[in-house]
Amino acid sequence: MAGANLESWVVRRGVAVVIDGSAKIRDGLAAALASGYWPLDFADIADAVGRVRVPPAVVVLGAPASDNPLPVRSLRAAPAFREVPIVLWRRDGMVRDRADAAPDAAGDAASGGEGLRDVVARLTSGVVEQSWARLPEAPRLALQQSRAVCKDLARLVPAGRPLAFAAIAESCRPLLAAVRNSEHRWVFEGLRGHDDFDYAHSVRMAALLGLFGMAAGLDDQELMTVVSGGFVHDAGMAALPADLKTKVTRFSEEDRARMRGHVALTVDYLERHTDTPRSMIAVAAEHHERLDGSGYPKGLHAGDLNDLSRMAAIVDVFAALTEDRPYRAAMSGFQALEVMGELMAPRLDQRLVRLFRTVLLDAAA
Ligand SMILES: [Fe+2]
Ligand SMILES: [Fe+2]
């Protein structure tokens, strides 16, 4: 029972169905998608239609050099593929993202320099974002406004150009409202299948901190601090190269050091704007610190870390362990809490870990 409830917090990547007659091409396409999807590959459409019963996130269909709409029609006739985005990939490397439009009607819908992974990301995220229109107001605004700010941050952070704190706080208001109204389920559901991993992680962190903060009895100002601090806690990630973030193999020591640099990048960025509250910057600055001094970047100890930073550390660990990452699969919610309560016992505040567990069980996504 408890395990089942916790399972609803786990975020798994979507399935990408890859169809091509050549095993070599299928392997290449699967590898191009592996950082964000579980590829399932088939030699032909009939095989895919016969074996795939649950709609995948996307289909990548290897196509001959001349566009032929017939294969797409036969795929669309199968229930599991009726509404799934289909991407046509050609042997010359061209990608068409409107595979089901007649070639002449679509004009030249070739992707104009976007790679396969970019086209797939745009299409699958677009499907998720369209689904937000059907949500109640607070979760809909929470998702839409946080998405707009994340897109701004993705542009501004690498350029070192600041974003006013007011814009961040404004985008967190409907998120906090959704949490207060017990409409958080819609927010978590609305993130499922979104391809922008940094975005989905940031909103999950903010919403989970909102739930946790309410259970911990934080006042309004502290709640806003943890929610907005949670939302931007990894903002510096936007300045890290995509090839590092999508790496599917084990990290080298150097990779690890570069990844750890996201904390300093985040703090530097947030400090550029003098109106960003110090308490909010602290949440971002200290979410990888640990009570026993084993964290980073400063190796702070229990006495240096207030409840807000301790809560941010707990939520970030849980969120990270229960999300599929390019280089490893997600743990179950139960396993994640076990790791946090046993292996990580000296590092995380166990009184707060126990409270967080009850929050997760009460508020199953
Ligand atoms: Fe982080
Ligand atoms: Fe994080």
Query: Which CATH architecture does the domain made up of 2-126 adopt?
Result: 3-Layer(aba) Sandwich (3.40)
Concatenated DSSP letters of 321-345: HTB-BTTBPPPPHHHHHHHHHTTTT
Q: How far is the CA of 319 from the centre of ligand 2 (A)?
A: 7
- Per-residue pLDDT, averaged over 164-185, amounts to 95
Say if CB 312 and CB 229 are below 8 A apart: yes
For residue 37, which of 99, 104, 87, 108 has the smallest C-alpha distance? 87
Q: How far is the CA of 317 from the centre of ligand 2 (A)?
A: 8
Nearest listed ligand to the Cα of residue 284: 1
Q: How far is the CA of 232 from the centre of ligand 2 (A)?
A: 9
pLDDT beyond 60 at 154: yes
Say if CB 240 and CB 258 are below 8 A apart: yes
Q: How far is the CA of 234 from the centre of ligand 2 (A)?
A: 5
Percentage of the chain exceeding pLDDT 90: 77
Q: How far is the CA of 327 from the centre of ligand 2 (A)?
A: 16
- Per-residue pLDDT, averaged over 343-363, amounts to 96
What lies within 8 Å, CB to CB, of 156 at 6+ separation is 162, 163
Nearest listed ligand to the Cα of residue 295: 1
Nearest listed ligand to the Cα of residue 201: 2
Indicate the domain borders of the chain: 2-126, 136-362
- pLDDT tens-digit readout, 41-80: 999 999 999 999 999 999 999 876 555 667 788 889 999 9
pTM of the model: 0.92
- Provide the total of helices (H) and of strands (E) in the chain, helices listed first: 18, 5
Burial zone of 296 (CB within 10 Å; 0-12 exposed, 13-18 middle, 19+ buried): middle
Residue 300 three-state SS = coil
- pLDDT tens-digit readout, 195-243: 999 999 999 999 999 999 999 999 999 999 999 999 999 999 999 998 8
pLDDT-derived band at 98, boundaries 50, 70, 90: low
Q: How far is the CA of 287 from the centre of ligand 1 (A)?
A: 7
Q: How far is the CA of 316 from the centre of ligand 1 (A)?
A: 7
Q: How far is the CA of 174 from the centre of ligand 1 (A)?
A: 23
**136-362: CATH, from 1.20.1560.10, 3.40.1710.10, 1.10.3210.10, 2.60.130.10:** 1.10.3210.10
**Would you state the pLDDT for residue 107?**
35
Residue keyed to tokens 């790791």? 339
**Would you state the pLDDT for residue 105?**
36
For residue 5, which of 293, 365, 341, 314 has the smallest C-alpha distance? 365
Cα torsion 344, 216, 221, 323 to 10°: value is 40
- pLDDT tens-digit readout, 328-342: 999 999 999 999 999
DSSP state of 237: G
- pLDDT tens-digit readout, 256-312: 999 999 999 999 999 987 788 999 999 999 999 999 999 999 999 999 999 999 999
Q: How far is the CA of 295 from the centre of ligand 1 (A)?
A: 11
